[in-house]
């Protein structure tokens, strides 16, 4: 099963009031294992960046001024997303911005049925707890020491680890590092099923009692005085 874990950065909270998406980061997973494939892009929002938003993600008007418009990269993004389910934290927020951008450039919005919300999963698993990405990373021991400001690709990478933990933990991927696809090599890593079929098993050792052991057991039984089973 192919899934895309993604995150966005924006100019604000509401695309209906004119806020725009300025960054998207996506991580590809197949059968809950990272493939090594990702998508990351910045976009010129064609509007000033509010100071409050810039303080969150650090993306300034100057930095974004030479970036392409979303409409110029929409097809590339849609090709990467394909038909996969899309996983995000507080996913409705990210879906609203992604779909608003798609509609603005004449594309069809992405179906809400493809949305997987890790915030909703966390609410079920940890009712009453703090459920921000930072708080959940701390709960599951996910290292976020390199996260100084919000960043779409960085947050998607953290969310990928969190999603694995929320949906069963590391045993789902078993050896995650060994299962990754090396994009720079023609050699495909064997799947977990293939690896299991190739595994060599040690033949079971004989475990039946020897004649000597049976003789010792019989002698022991004979030596028991007034055994309970003799009364039945």
Question: Which residue numbers are catalytic?
Answer: 150
The label of the residue with tokens 């949906």 reads 167
Q: Round to whole Å and give the CA distance between 159 and 34.
A: 12
β-bridge partners, 206: none
132 vs 114: CA distance, rounded Å: 22
Q: For residue 89, how many other CB atoms are within 10 A of its CB? A: 25
Plot region of 109 (φ>0 → left; ψ -120 to 50 → alpha; else → beta): beta
How far is the first Cα of the chain from the last one, in angstroms, to the nearest whole number? Answer: 61
Strand pairing of 21-30 and 2-10?
antiparallel
Nearest to 72 by CA among 38, 46, 35: 46
C-alpha to C-alpha distance for 136 and 126, rounded to whole angstroms: 10
Backbone angles phi, psi at 3, to 5 degrees: -135, 150
């Amino acid at each position: 099963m192919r899934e895309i874990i993604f995150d966005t950065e924006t100019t604000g909270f509401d695309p209906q009031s004119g806020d725009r998406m300025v960054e998207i980061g996506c991580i590809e997973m197949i059968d809950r294992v990272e493939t090594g494939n990702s998508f990351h892009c910045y976009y010129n929002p064609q509007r000033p960046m509010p100071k409050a938003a810039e303080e969150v993600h650090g993306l300034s008007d100057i930095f974004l001024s030479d970036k392409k418009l979303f409409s110029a990269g929409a097809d590339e993004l849609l090709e990467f997303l394909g038909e996969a389910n899309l996983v995000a934290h507080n996913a409705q927020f990210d879906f609203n911005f992604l779909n608003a951008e798609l509609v603005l450039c004449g594309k069809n919005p992405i179906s809400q049925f493809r949305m997987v919300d890790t915030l909703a999963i966390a609410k079920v698993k940890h009712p009453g707890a703090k459920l921000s990405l930072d708080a959940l990373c701390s709960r599951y021991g996910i290292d976020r020491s390199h996260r100084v400001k919000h960043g779409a690709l960085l947050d998607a990478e953290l969310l990928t680890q969190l999603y694995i933990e929320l949906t069963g933990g590391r045993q789902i991927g078993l050896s995650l590092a060994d299962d990754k696809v090396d994009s720079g090599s023609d050699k495909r890593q064997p799947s977990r099923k293939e690896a299991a079929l190739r595994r060599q098993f040690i033949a079971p050792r004989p475990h039946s009692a020897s004649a000597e052991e049976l003789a010792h057991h019989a002698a022991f039984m004979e030596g028991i005085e007034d055994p309970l089973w003799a009364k039945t």
